[in-house]
Amino acid sequence: MNTCPKRMINGPCGGYRDTVCEDERLTCVWIMAYYTAIKRGTVDRMFTLKLDSGFKINNYYPIPRRPRGAVEKILGGRVFMVYEYTPKPYSSPLNIPSELRGIASIYDGVDFVDNPGGYPIPSSLPYASIAKNSYRDMHVSIQLTARNRDRSQIASEILAASLSGIDAIVATTGDLDDSGKDVWDLDAPRIIYLARLILDLGLDHLGRRVGLGGEGMAIACSVNINARPLEPEILKLRVKRRAGAEIVITQPVFEPEILGRFRRMTKDLLGEEMPMILGIIPIMSRKIASFFQNKVGIKIPEKISKILSSERIDKEELLKTNIEVIENIAREVAHNAFYISAFGDHKLGYEIGRTIRRALS
Ligand code: SF4
């Protein structure tokens, strides 16, 4: 798999579309290998957790932990909403308590992103740490991507997050950035495995004592429910679960049928669903629509596409239509946990949070 730009060893990242790599100039070698494995009847073997030789402890099986915090709430059927926060270069972490006041009144949690698209923004940890200190009852998580970090740096982040009282990390491989010079030491399954080694046993990948073990921070992962083909993405979820993931966060959902298909296939292939948080985003510009349509494979709802295709976009109409679409999705999907991205527009995030609560009440 040496032409995979992310040096994946546990199956494809979620960035492929058909046989095309996230870097559109390339073919996804993992999807090609998947089709070969189908012919040979070796698909199951292909999707088992693989660790590289840098893992001196490679026989640990993270056991399911007692459901608590977010996991307990999702499984218990209570409404659980997480707001995505992107630290901005010009905003100090010290502003977090006032910035999040409205959000904290309607959301159960906040997730702090990690350099989306590879663009350097301030590290999430100080923001998340201050958020947790200011709003003790709120679920606070950070995203941790493999891009441009080696395993020692990732181990440090996991330790710091756990010691800061952060409730969960969301482990992802990360997108390719525009420079084409990203470095990949781990992929999402190996971050998850490393995190469980550190949290459960207090050991790092080399078996060195780095903590006490028995730490409760939850481990979440992501899934692209719009992936085409979908089976490899679900089988990859099985690998992440084996590595120790406990919650899955989906890419944005616009069509309940797509979610229904994902759920059916997950039950068939994995035997059961994992505790799941459904992604929700408003499509407030042509740029966002184009990204999700062309890069993620999401079909933008017709009503929204129509407004975006007009010569002058009526912003008010667009907002109203997005809220309507989100309200309908929340009603139709019969689910209780949502992950909302409003691209830093806290007013919009608040409005969406209110809409979903209303739809579910
Ligand atoms: S789509 Fe992802 S897994 Fe496939 S070759 Fe590209 S980077 Fe690698």
Q: What domain range is 259 assigned to?
A: 49-277+342-351
DSSP secondary structure letters along 150-210? -HHHHHHHHHHHHHTT--EEEEE-----TTS---BS--HHHHHHHHHIIIIISB-TT--B-
Q: What is the CATH number of the domain that holds 232?
A: 3.20.20.220
Residues 6+ apart with CB under 8 A from 26: 3, 5, 20
What is the best residue among 1, 2, 22 to mutate for testing ligand 1's pocket, by most ligand atoms within 8 Å of CB? 22
pLDDT in tens, the chain (361 residues): 678 999 999 999 999 999 999 999 999 999 999 999 999 999 999 999 999 999 999 999 998 888 888 889 999 989 999 999 988 878 899 999 999 999 999 999 999 999 887 778 889 999 999 999 999 999 999 999 999 999 999 999 999 999 999 999 999 999 988 777 889 999 999 999 999 999 999 999 999 999 999 999 999 999 999 999 999 999 999 999 999 999 999 999 998 999 999 999 999 999 988 999 999 999 999 999 998 888 777 889 999 999 999 989 999 999 999 999 999 999 999 899 999 999 889 999 999 999 999 999 8
Residues 6+ apart with CB under 8 A from 218: 68, 69, 70, 71, 141, 167, 168, 169, 246, 247
- Write down the H helix ranges in the chain: 29-40, 43-46, 69-76, 96-99, 101-106, 124-134, 151-163, 188-196, 231-243, 256-270, 286-290, 302-309, 315-332, 346-360
**129: in domain:** yes
Task: Please indicate whether residue 33, judged by its CB atom, sits closer than 6 Å to ligand 1.
Answer: no
**356: in domain:** no
**121: in domain:** yes
pLDDT tens track for 72-99: 999 998 999 999 998 887 889 999 999 9
**226: in domain:** yes
Task: Please indicate whether residue 146, judged by its CB atom, sits closer than 6 Å to ligand 1.
Answer: no
Task: Please indicate whether residue 13, judged by its CB atom, sits closer than 6 Å to ligand 1.
Answer: yes
**195: in domain:** yes
What is the best residue among 2, 10, 16 to mutate for testing ligand 1's pocket, by most ligand atoms within 8 Å of CB? 16
Task: Please indicate whether residue 6, judged by its CB atom, sits closer than 6 Å to ligand 1.
Answer: yes
**Number of domains the chain is built from:** 1
Whole-angstrom Cα distance, residue 5 to residue 20?
13
Q: Return phi, psi of residue 92, to 5°.
A: -75, 150
Is residue 132 within 8 A of residue 169, CB to CB? The reply is: no
**78: in domain:** yes
Number of DSSP helices (H) and strands (E) in the chain, helices first: 14, 8
**259: in domain:** yes
From the CA of 7, how far away is ligand 1's center (Å)? 8
